[in-house]
Chain A
């Protein structure tokens, strides 16, 4: 091959890239905000709902905050930490955003937190990522999380399962990675403290849909099975458990007893009535603020979900937090965004699910909803709110040094056989 051709090809490529390679700049009356969610891959549907939540908040304030116009740029990841960092980098370094809201999933959150440390001039606000260590250990001074973590989501459930439902011995079934570890930790803190025994923990490899060995290994002398699988996997598990003759009641993690499970065809449905669960939202809460939020969501997005998911809710809350803080400081992002960040850290935010404050690690302290599955008058199943657990902090009420001494979440943390 003649040299002219190869060199021309390379030169053309280089020239083309140079032509496109200028970074964008914001003017003084606009604030550039980046919103990052999983818009690729298997979690796309969740990412889309997240964007709806954020957009709803922006719309309600006419895309204005602190007297300045908001310019929103969207970023997309595929739930892998590498792609989240790449998308964040593009938003910050290429598009020049001053505030970044996101990401969606736990491991992405840890990666973005670490990236945030290298970009002190940008304020990072969480999306819905719920890994504990994002704010508990080695937090970034410019990362703010107004949503609760996976362990907080299970507050009150352990105590309820032991004392009210009377389940003294249980086993847990969950997927083998960090988010389920966090959920199990949150549940077991309360459960073990109340006196319960977790006889065995079954950790299912990610993506595995064959629960037959686990079903076979569940002992007979337990009172209930704690299941922290995603909705569709939960349907699989229940169906396989049911077919193998299993009959123990279930306790649900935050994403387990969702519409997929409650609305599934088949006999497994009636088996679920009475299943307790806990999480950051409850679809059928009677509170007027929540109902107003649901109505606004439905009006703005007729082709969205029947009810806003916790992803839409989470991104809505985070966006609201940003807008309120900007309003408080009248859009002043000067001097390394000092005033804005102080406003973020000190504000008490009114959300559709109650009030939210931040602790010293910039982690949310918020209310959690304890629910139980009930049958409505039309025969359909829904999650009824049993009680609201108020002001749950990241250590779930345990003294901080004790909580930190437990160590990071893992397969064997904690134990109470």
Chain B
């Protein structure tokens, strides 16, 4: 019983992390139809930069901020410098992101090497708190869950209650119409990409604190984002939340009760969703 409850809680907290990473990915795809396969690289790069910042300044929170800001800038530069000139050429954009991810992964390996980096969270976030039934649970993971919920709500409010958010949603529905109605779509795209990339960098530091960072994490989180977004539906942040919940829980239950094939189950769920409802749970038909 205790194991089951712990596993559910682990699943929820992992889902929180996946949501953070995948929400940026789905925003960028939903609006700009750009499958950003360098998303995982942004996660890892943000984590490395955040680590160096936290190490240099001694403040973990500065590291988090550095992760978010540095990746937002990178995202902005990518959109303005590269993708803006390829509007409508989705395949080409995707190929460019693949190229960027290959180069980034190798450069990160060159700069930060193959070792694993452990973050140093502040003391009040470390350790366990006593809980009924499960005896003890790491504070950090609960904090991660809380932060994710807060960010999810903030994101929802941003998209549904602000003007820019309204324009982003309109763009996801019909990009041509948005442009025709006089909105500077390039500015919206830039903001969206910056936000998406920033979220990846933020998740990198926050997730890296829980699970450490090393080469290969970029691929892992890219794949997680892919599966979450395929299951939850493209372009929908709420869909990303639902997808993250499903995948996070499935992964932890798999690891606890069937560790040999646990990793494969998440992909089976993805295949099942594709077979029954190809556009994802909350996606719109193509």
Contact = CB atoms under 8 A, between A and B. Distances in A.
Question: Which one of B115, B118, B126, B262 has the greatest number of beta carbons of chain A within 10 Å?
Answer: B118
B138 interface: yes
B2 A42 contact: no
B181 interface: no
Contacts of A266: 118, 120, 126
B120 A42 contact: no
A202 interface: yes
A44 B3 contact: no
A231 to B, nearest CB: 8
A45 B116 contact: no
Given A41-B114, A44-B113, A210-B211, A203 B260 contact: yes
A216 interface: yes
Contacts, number: 98
Contact of A240 (B135, B138, B215): B138
Contacts of A212: 6, 10, 138, 141, 252
Q: How large is the interface on A (under 10, 10 to 19, 20 to 34, 35 or more residues)?
A: 20 to 34
B14 A210 contact: yes
B99 interface: no
Nearest to B138: A243
B214 A42 contact: yes
A233 B116 contact: yes
A210 B14 CA distance: 9
B256 A245 contact: no
Contacts of A264: 118
B3 A216 contact: yes
B146 interface: no
Contacts of B215: 41-42
B109 A245 contact: no
A218 to B, nearest CB: 10
Nearest to A44: B114
A214 B252 CA distance: 10
Interface string A245-286: 100000000000000100011110000000000000000000
B155 to A, nearest CB: 24
A207 interface: yes
Contacts of B214: 42, 209, 232
Contacts of B139: 243
B48 interface: no
A208 B255 contact: yes
A216 B6 CA distance: 7
Given A212-B252, A213-B255, A244 B212 contact: no
Given A42-B214, A212-B252, A236-B211, A205 B138 contact: no
Given A44-B113, A244-B138, A266-B120, A209 B212 contact: yes
B122 interface: no
Contact of A207 (B120, B210, B220): B220
B126 A243 contact: yes
Contacts of B150: none
Contact of A45 (B114, B140, B211): B114
Nearest to A202: B259
A31 interface: no
Contacts of B259: 176, 202-205, 213
B91 to A, nearest CB: 22
B118 A217 contact: no
Contacts of A243: 126-128, 138-140
Given A213-B10, A244-B136, A265-B120, A260 B115 contact: yes
B109 A42 contact: yes
Interface string B203-222: 00000001110111100100
Given A212-B6, A217-B256, A244 B116 contact: no
Nearest to A218: B3
A232 to B, nearest CB: 3
A217 B253 CA distance: 12
A37 to B, nearest CB: 13
- The 3 tightest CB contacts between A and B, nearest first, are A232-B116, A245-B136, A213-B256
11 contacts: A41-B114, A209-B211, A209-B214, A210-B210, A213-B7, A235-B118, A240-B138, A244-B136, A245-B136, A265-B118, A266-B126
Interface of B: 2-3, 6-7, 10, 14, 109, 113-116, 118, 120, 126-128, 135-141, 210-212, 214-217, 220, 252, 255-256, 259-260, 262-263
